[in-house]
Amino acid sequence: MIISRTPLRVSFLGGGTDFPEFYNEHGGAVLSSAIDKYIYVVVKKRFDDKIVLHYTQTETLDSVDDIQHDIIRESMKLVGVEKGIEITTLADIPSEGTGLGSSSSLAVGLLHALYTYLGINDIPPEVLAEDACKVEIDIMGKAMGKQDAYIASLGGLRVIEFAKDSIQTFHFRRRIRRALEGNLMLFYTGITRQATEILVDVKASIPDKTETLTKLMNLCYRGKTAIEGGTNNFGDLLNQNWSLKKALADTVSNELIDELYARSIVSGASGGKICGAGGGGFLLLYCVEDRQDVVRERLSDYRELEFSLEDEGSKIIYQEK
C-alpha cells in the first residue's frame, strides 16, 4: 500500500498569466502558496486483475479505458498501470468548486502514488507537475493554467515564472511566509461552480485582454516586493488583482460575491479575491489581526476555514515495505 499527501493551494496574484496561450508570447508570473489542507491518494495492489476505485463514487472494472473518472483514467494510462489495482482518494475539504486547485492536486498526488507503486521513487516535483499538466491540459483538453500543478508539486509560498521554454520559481523563506499567513482569512461562499466553464471564458478572452493580463503579471512582482518588505500594501494589491480578474470574464464574479466582498472591506479587510477561477468557492481576505474579529462577526453566516501556508509539496507519507 502507498499513500500520497498533496496540498491544496491559495492563489494570490497573477492568475490567468499561467495559460500557455498567454505566457508563450508574453511571459507570465503568479504568486501562490500551498496550504495545510490535502488530497490523499491510497494505492494498493489487488490479487485479481480488477480495477477498483473509491472516490465520491465506486467503480469496479476490467479495463482502464472504461474508467469514468477522467483524471484517474488518463493518469493510469500515462504511467502504464492497466490492471490489478485499487485506488482511493480522500480530501480534507469538498473537492468540487472550491477554487483551491483540487483537480491538479489530485492529478499530482495520484501520479506520485502511481510512480511509487511502479517502484519509481524520488520523482522530481517538476516532472510530477508537467505530467499533471499533460493529463489535464494536453490529454483532457481543459482550459486552465499551470500554476496549480506546480504549487501542489513543489509546495511553499512561491513566485512561479512561465516562459515558452522554461518555468522558474522563487521560494520565500519560512519566516516571511509566517508573517503573511497571520493576516490571511478564508471564508466559504457556499457557492459551488464548475471552474471549467469560467476558465473557458477566460481563455477565450486572452487575445483581447493582453493589457489586463500584463497588469496582472506586474502585480505579481509588486506582491513579491510587498511580502519581502513586510506586506504593508499586500491587501491593496489583492484588491487591484480582483478588479482586473473580474474584467477577464463576466462569469468571474456575481452579485452575491460582490456584496460579500464589499461587506468584508467595510468590516476591515484591506483586500481579497475569490480563489481560483472565481464564480464561487472560497473568498480569500487580507486583514490585519486586530481587525479580524470584526470581519468574522460581519461574515458569521459564512464558514471560515482556518489554515496555514504549507512549505511541503506532494509527498509519500506511507509506503508498505
For 304-317, the three-class secondary structure string (H helix, E strand, C coil) is: ECCCCECCCCCEEE
State residue 177's pLDDT score: 84
Q: Which H helix or E strand runs over 252? A: none
State residue 95's pLDDT score: 63
| pLDDT per residue as tens digits for the range 80-102 | 999 999 999 999 987 667 889 99
Residues 93, 188: one domain? no
One-character DSSP codes across 107-161: HHHHHHHHHHHTT--S--HHHHHHHHHIIIIIIS-----SHHHHHHHH-SEEEEE
Residues 115, 233: one domain? no
State residue 201's pLDDT score: 74
The stretch 294-308 carries a mean pLDDT of 95
The CATH code of the domain that includes 10 is 3.30.230.10
Asked which of 62-76, 119-133, 248-262 is least confident by mean pLDDT, the reply is 248-262
Asked which of 82-91, 148-157, 187-196, 299-308 is least confident by mean pLDDT, the reply is 187-196
Residues 123, 199: one domain? no
pLDDT band at 25 (very low <50, low <70, confident <90, very high): very high
Distances (CA, A) of 158 to 9, 33, 130, 169: 11, 6, 17, 6
Given a contact cutoff of 8 angstroms between Cβ atoms, the answer to whether 263 and 302 are in contact is no
State residue 240's pLDDT score: 95
User: Nine-digit cell at 199?
Assistant: 476558465
Question: Which residues neighbour 90 within 8 Å (Cβ) at sequence distance 6 or greater?
Answer: 39, 40, 41, 42
Residues 74, 11: one domain? yes
Residues 16, 82: one domain? yes
Given a contact cutoff of 8 angstroms between Cβ atoms, the answer to whether 263 and 299 are in contact is yes
Residues 108, 206: one domain? no
Q: Which H helix or E strand runs over 187? A: strand 184-188
State residue 194's pLDDT score: 61
Residues 50, 159: one domain? yes
**Cβ-based neighbour number of residue 318 at 10 Å:** 11
The stretch 274-283 carries a mean pLDDT of 83
| pLDDT per residue as tens digits for the range 180-219 | 999 999 999 987 766 666 778 777 888 888 999 999 999 9
Given a contact cutoff of 8 angstroms between Cβ atoms, the answer to whether 87 and 42 are in contact is yes
State residue 197's pLDDT score: 67
State which amino acid sits at residue 255.
E
Residues 203, 104: one domain? no
Residues 157, 274: one domain? no
- What is the Rg, in whole angstroms, of the alpha carbon atoms belonging to the chain? 19
Residues 220, 281: one domain? yes
Average pLDDT of every residue of the chain: 92
Q: Considering the chain, what percentage of its residues have pLDDT values greater than 70?
A: 97
Q: Is 308 exposed, middle or buried (CB count within 10 Å of its CB: 0-12, 13-18, 19+)? A: middle
The CATH code of the domain that includes 291 is 3.30.70.890
pTM of the predicted structure, to 2 decimals: 0.94
Nearest to 102 by CA among 205, 200, 192, 168: 192
Residue 214: give the domain boundaries: 176-304
State residue 193's pLDDT score: 61
pLDDT band at 143 (very low <50, low <70, confident <90, very high): confident
State residue 69's pLDDT score: 97
The stretch 222-236 carries a mean pLDDT of 88
Total of domains in the chain? 2
Residues 162, 273: one domain? no
Residues 26, 142: one domain? yes
